[in-house]
Structure 1
Amino acid sequence: MTDTANFDQMLAKIETGAGFIAALDQSGGSTPKALKGYGIDDGAWGSDEEMFALIHGMRSRIVTSPCFNGEKVIGAILFERTMDGEAGGKSVPALLWERGVVPFLKVDKGLEDEADGVQMMKPIGGLGELLTRAKAKGVFGTKMRSVINSASETGIAAIVKQQFEVAGEILDHGLIPIIEPEVNIKSETRAQCDEILLAETRKALDALPEGRRVMLKLSLPAKAGLFADLVSHPAVIRVVALSGGFSRTEACTELAKNNGIIASFSRALLNDLKHQMSDDEFDASLGGAIDEIHQASIA
């Protein structure tokens, strides 16, 4: 259970910790792609259960690696099945916090088809029950993702409205929401998307009741430093960045240009890890990626 003392310690870690948040939350449709990147091909499983067992094995290997600790990794975002699973003989959230890593949970159920230049979140059925269960397991916060593909003012406004409405329910359950309205970095109107998103997010933050605070997970902006106002906003605990299709080197270069923003990378963190590696090779590869992303986050 996330009691008040634990919650306060986790909040302090996320707010001031010199590190980054690992995104270990691939789910459903993205799992086969994640396994393929890990060196396990489609034919290696016969059912969804076997597929999820393989991805859990990968995540267990990551979170029990000696280099995966709160010194450089201050948080980790989990898929629901990972939260419910065990690693090193303990529940994953408990193991993470024992290592100084704050646990988060991905709560969205995927994306709607594109309309008005954006992909909204699908309805999140059973959210209240999931949040209660997450809180009982010691989870600190949540993450939910939408996608912005073009510079539609009405579409982006709708995305921000939906994100902040769901964030309100998450806050009501005593958890901290990470709001993730991802701008597609391949969008031809990427810079305009960033500007519209900034304006809409600022409005939504200004409208939050006093004392309510959230986190933001944003694509690295086309214009370096664009989100400085969000970083310093009193209703924002921390701004983190996704890698969004950049290679690790590219993502770290872009991240270092944006003062006060830290990484929350998935592919850029995990890309070089392979199932076939020995434990020493695996730990060395993961450690190298952690070092590189940590350096960019504190630059």
Structure 2
Amino acid sequence: MAPDHDYLQLQKKVLKRIEQAEFDFSLPTLSRQTWKILINDNDERERLEFVGDFYMAAAVGESLCHYLPDGSPRQYTVARSALTSNLTYSAIMNRLGLANPSDGRKTTADAFESIIGAKKKEDVALLDTWFETYYVQLIKSIVDDCRQLPHKGKKAAKPHQLHSIARGSRTVKKRHISLSPRRVQKQDKAHPIKSPTIYSRHCQIIDLVVDSDSEDDDDVESGDVEIVQISSAEIKKSRTNISAHQTITHPLGSSINPIVID
């Protein structure tokens, strides 16, 4: 895929800024022990390179939002790509005279990222100070150019989707009925059950606790649980509707039939 035209233009602006005589830059200082690890431990160096890459992407992104508060996600993305590219990192190393001519751009950029990662491991507060002192100047130098970039990009999440997430609603709809035998208690209301009810010969009253994840139920938001009590009289009256092939094994071991109440 060919690079985006806006990205290429912004990348040129960043490189031009690095080449300017007044560009003042320095790498974070590391202890001798850390330098030994970077030079002699390849596995650890690769891990620190990953940490440095992650740190730079996050720090640059946050700074862009700070210095360009009215920017669009696309403008942030294009600017961050230019500010954290291998081209930019290798140009900085070249400017400081720390790049090996025999190494490629990627190798030089990886060395920069591993130094950042190592400093983060040593002292993240000092690394933050270094970033504000040296790297933010690059960000400020292209803020005006970022404003000229098109705002087009991916559409933001629809408000009703965010509203559903904020309410804690779930998209999966299900109904679960649990059996809870207990003594008779007065209920404020009783709702007819369309799901099969269950008769147990081990108790006179059966509570059917109905839990619904449907967004239409008012009780879902309030946390209330519907409890419908079935008396023994209703059970006897309904036994004529029992289907012989429908059996349910009761937790106590007996095989019973469901009763459908119209």
TM, length-normalised to structure 2: 0.27
The structure that is helix-richer by fraction is 2
**Structure possessing the higher radius of gyration over alpha carbons:** 2
The structure that is strand-richer by fraction is 1
TM, length-normalised to structure 1: 0.25
